[in-house]
Structure formats: C-alpha cells, structure tokens
Amino acid sequence: MSFHSQLQNKIVSQEDAATFAKKLQDEGKKIVFTNGCFDIVHPGHVDYLSQARDLGDALVLGLNTDASVKRLEKGANRPINNETARGLVLAALACVDKIVLFNEDTPYELIKAIQPDVLVKGSDYAPEKIVGYDIVTARGGKVTTIHFLEGYSTTAIIKKITG
C-alpha cells in the first residue's frame, strides 16, 4: 500500500464515518468529533486536534469543502489549499482517525449521522452555542472547548506571506 492510499483511506463518506463510529461505540469506545477548514495547517491546529483526540478513543474530523469555506467569507482567496490537499495533510496526523468532507454551512447533519460522544470546538465558542450541542447532550454526551495555542492562525500566516 502506498503512502498516498494510506492517507486516502482516512478520508471517508458520511455513511462510512457513521459505521466506523457505531462499531467503536458498540465496543464501548468514545468517539470525538470536531470540524473546521484547517486551511494552512499549523502547530495550533496540531495541538488542538491532539487535545481533541485525547478526549476519547477516536477522532472524526468534519472538513469544510472548498465551497463551504468560500461561503464562510474568510477572504477572497480562501481556501488557500483545496479540500483534497487539506484532507491529505490532516490524514497524515496520527491523532486524526477519519475525515469527512461536508458541503453544508454547518456540520449539523454530519454530527447527527455520526452521533459522537464528545463534541469539541475552540474556546472562542460557548459550549451551548456549538452546532450539534442538542444532538450530543440528548444522548448523554459531552460538549467541550479547547483553548487555542497562542500565536498561531492561518490569517496571521497569510498576512506574513503577503507582507
């Protein structure tokens, strides 16, 4: 198996991610879910994803498609890296078990399909305002936030490059 196909195997459909999650949950394991654009992966992203993974037994990451990133209005040239490139870089991280691309404005339907035990976002969100809070808490799951590693942001990297 080539390195590329090993990475590609982590990028799955919503249905495959839901099957993966259910199988592990049936074994008594906890599924953690987070989502984002992860446009230019930096140490802040790696730290955040590593901390998220530590909250359970497997981390499923919802990755915004290029079209959904554009709708988030992060900037005219965003995303810098296309969804395939972003997915492959994230798939190389040991802390990420599965990646699911989603095209909707929020990962609500993806969260509903996966039914994670732990839902995580950055500490710039109040837990009860996180999309999917109702789904996760209704089944006794936990919604939590993680503080970002200071000094790292995709926007700051872009500003530094463009001067």
What residue segments make up the domains of the chain, in order of their start?
A: 3-162
pTM beyond 0.75: the answer is: yes
The answer to whether residues 38 and 66 touch, using CB atoms and an 8 Å cutoff, is no
Structure tokens at 53: 């993974």
Which of the following CATH numbers is that of domain 3-162: 3.40.50.620, 3.40.50.2000, 1.10.275.10, 1.10.357.10? 3.40.50.620
Across the chain, mean pLDDT equals 92
At residue 155 the predicted structure's pLDDT band, cuts being 50, 70 and 90, is confident
Q: Is the pLDDT assigned to residue 45 strictly greater than 80? A: yes
**Spatial CB neighbours of 25, under 8 Å, sequence gap ≥ 6:** 31, 115, 117
Q: What is the mean pLDDT of residues 24-47?
A: 95
Q: What is the mean pLDDT of residues 61-88?
A: 89
Q: What is the largest CA-CA distance in the chain?
A: 51
Q: What is the mean pLDDT of residues 32-40?
A: 95
Q: Is the pLDDT assigned to residue 1 strictly greater than 70? A: no
Question: What are the strands, taking DSSP E only, across the chain?
Answer: 31-36, 58-64, 98-102, 118-122, 142-146
Residue with tokens 């969804």: 83
pLDDT tens per residue across span 83-131:
999 999 999 999 999 999 999 999 999 999 999 999 999 988 899 999 9
Structure tokens at 93: 């991280």
